[in-house]
Amino acid sequence: MRIYNTLTRKKEEFVAIGHLVRLYVCGITPYDTTHIGHAFTYVAFDVLVRYLESNGYPVRYVQNVTDVDDDILRQAKKLGIRWDELAREQTALYLADMAALNVRRPDVMPKASEEVPAILDIVDVLLARGYAYRSGGNVYFQVSKDPDYGKLSRLMREQMLVLAKERGGYPDDPRKRDPLDFVLWQESAPGEPRWDSPWGAGRPGWHIECSAMSLKYLGETLDIHGGGADLIFPHHESEIAQSEHYTCKHPFSRYWVHTGMVRVSGEKMSKSLGNLVMVREVLSRYNGDALRLHLLGFHYREGWDYQEEGVQQAETLAEDIRTALEDWSPLNAEADEAQPLWTRFVAAMDDDLDTPRAIECLRELSREISGQKQMGRSVHELQAVLARMARVLGLTLAEGGGCPV
């Protein structure tokens, strides 16, 4: 299997460090869940896990919940509820939406608010080693101390400053020595959650939360770290800097995998633009397999425009697959790995999870099975291949016979 590594900008053969694949994917900030952009990312990584497991790789999958964040605090204040209440409600909605899409729950889903001791330890070590400094009640990572800062995003300083301002980096903060320095620990404003620390009562910065959780639950070097492409800078860039200087080990992650952005009418889907398409709204009109197939109809690295007509077409395909699998049982036949469409399916999945090509194999095989049925021929072996493909892609096919997940 070859997978595109954002760090090297090329497809590389995937080789795990050991027997267990250690995967960390940046999870939700639970205040606007769950929109189609979220679903695109987490369905893609669900398929990655399923495909790795189908090839004999056990996976330990960690996905965090960033439940302490500026956006949550602002939204909670706007709604007049506690920040932790908002986080719990939105996380529950997210989990329900993912279940409706047959996205399996990660092995560990730590909450940032419950990982403060691990965060404090990292900040303390970075201060002791001279990579961080205190200023005005905050602790910052000093980017100038890391000559490799920027190796993931490969951005010029001017580009970094623009994105830092757009994505919560506050380059105009007067307490910083350099506008690109990022906060590790910050003084809490009145009414905000706070934890005791050697530097005063406060709360963690955004980037340090993910470093603490990934290192705690997966160890000092990850096999794969993933998330949306909008996290490459500053979030993942900053994670690399603080993690590698804390552990003194390189690399922090061997493969960096990023999903494309979902747009509506050419604009990125976002709460600020008011153009969010929510998963539960779509699922009120279509079944989970239809939406899942629609999402997988785009390559995970591809940016694309959401249009509901695509979900309608995917629902027709889901019904065709269900029809092709009617009267089939796992006891009837084993999947024939020499079947040409199975070979093509594997080749597509091995090529950086090319799910659009893989789905074409399901489409063609469904048609072939229907044609063979009409001629009265046995189709059990073909059905076994189709069912195996469907399992790898996480389809439930619960209506009309279906196949086991």
Question: Which of the four pLDDT bands, split at 50, 70 and 90, describes residue 403?
Answer: very low
84 plus 227 within the same structural domain: yes
Give residue 399's pLDDT band: very low, low, confident or very high (50, 70, 90): low
Residues 349 and 214 in one domain: no
Which tens digits make up the pLDDT trace of 247-281?
Answer: 998 999 999 999 999 999 888 887 777 889 999 99
List, edge to edge, every strand of the sheet that includes 253-259.
59-63, 21-25, 222-228, 253-259
Domain shared by 156 and 211, yes or no: yes
- Structural domain count, the chain: 2
Q: Are 384 and 337 in contact (CB under 8 A)?
A: no
Average pLDDT over residues 199-210: 96
Q: Are 317 and 183 contained in the same domain?
A: no
Residue 172 lies in a domain: yes
Residue 63 · residue 48 · CB < 8 Å: no
Q: Across residues 240-251, what is the average pLDDT?
A: 96
**pLDDT (average), residues 21-34:** 96
Helix (H) or strand (E) holding 186: strand 182-187
Residue among 252, 203, 205, 256 nearest 231 (CA): 256
- Looking at the structure, do residues 101 and 205 belong to the same domain, yes or no? yes
Element (H, E) at 140: strand 138-141
Cα(first)–Cα(last) distance of the chain, in Å?
Answer: 22
Residue with tokens 């003194």: 248
CB 163 within 8 A of CB 233: yes
Pick the last residue of a domain from 201, 232, 263. 263
Residue 237 lies in a domain: yes
- Report yes or no: 332 and 380 within 8 Å, Cβ to Cβ: yes
Q: Which amino acid is at 151?
A: K
pLDDT at 324 exceeding the cut of 90:
yes
In a domain? residue 272: no
Per-residue pLDDT, 282:
97
| Residue 239 belongs to domain spanning | 2-263
**Domain annotation covers residue 241:** yes
Nearest to 202 by CA among 214, 187, 192: 187
Look at phi and psi of residue 66 and say left if phi exceeds 0, alpha if psi is from -120 to 50, else beta: beta
Which of 84, 108, 82 has the alpha carbon at shortest distance from 24? 108
Nearest C-alpha neighbor of 395 from the set 261, 387, 231, 249: 387
Residues 186 and 317 in one domain: no
The answer for residues whose C-beta is within 8 angstroms of residue 152's C-beta and 6 or more apart is: 6, 7, 232, 233, 236, 237, 240, 256
Q: Are residues 228 and 334 both part of a single domain?
A: no
In a domain, 295, yes or no: no
Tell whether 65 is covered by a domain.
yes
Region 379-405: mean pLDDT is 80
pLDDT at residue 126 is higher than 90: yes
Q: Based on the domain organization, do 239 and 126 belong to the same domain?
A: yes
Between CA 342 and CA 386 the distance in angstroms is 8
Same structural domain, 59 and 165: yes
Task: State how far the Cα of 43 lies from the Cα of 101, in Å rounded to an integer.
Answer: 8
Q: At 321, which CATH number?
A: 1.20.120.640
Q: Show the beta-strand stretches assigned E in 188-322.
A: 202-204, 222-228, 253-259, 262-264, 267-268, 304-305
Which of 103-107, 151-155, 182-186, 377-381 bottoms out in mean pLDDT, i.e. has the lowest? 377-381
Among 230, 247, 263, identify where a domain stops.
Answer: 263
Q: Does residue 137 share a domain with residue 19?
A: yes
Q: What angle do CA 105, 109, 113 make, to 5 degrees?
A: 150
> What's the rounded Cα separation, in Å, for the pair 236 and 3?
18
User: What is the model's pLDDT at position 404?
Assistant: 43
170-191 average pLDDT score: 96
From residue 248, how far is each of 251, 252, 365, 388 by CA, in Å? 9, 9, 51, 43
Do 40 and 142 belong to one domain? yes
What is the overall mean pLDDT for the chain? 94
* CATH number of the domain enclosing 161: 3.40.50.620
Which of 235, 263, 291 delimits the end of a domain? 263
User: pLDDT tens digits, residue range 56-107?
Assistant: 999 999 999 999 999 999 999 999 999 999 999 999 999 999 999 999 999 9
State the pLDDT at residue 268.
80
Q: What is the pLDDT averaged over residues 133-156? A: 97
312 and 241 share one domain: no
Mapping DSSP to helix (H, G, I), strand (E, B) and coil, where does residue 372 land? helix
Element (H, E) at 297: none
Q: Is residue 146 part of a domain?
A: yes
Residue-wise pLDDT for 327-375, tens only, equals 888 766 677 777 999 999 999 999 999 999 999 999 999 999 999 988 8
* Residue 397 domain flag: no
Q: Is pLDDT of 6 > 50?
A: yes
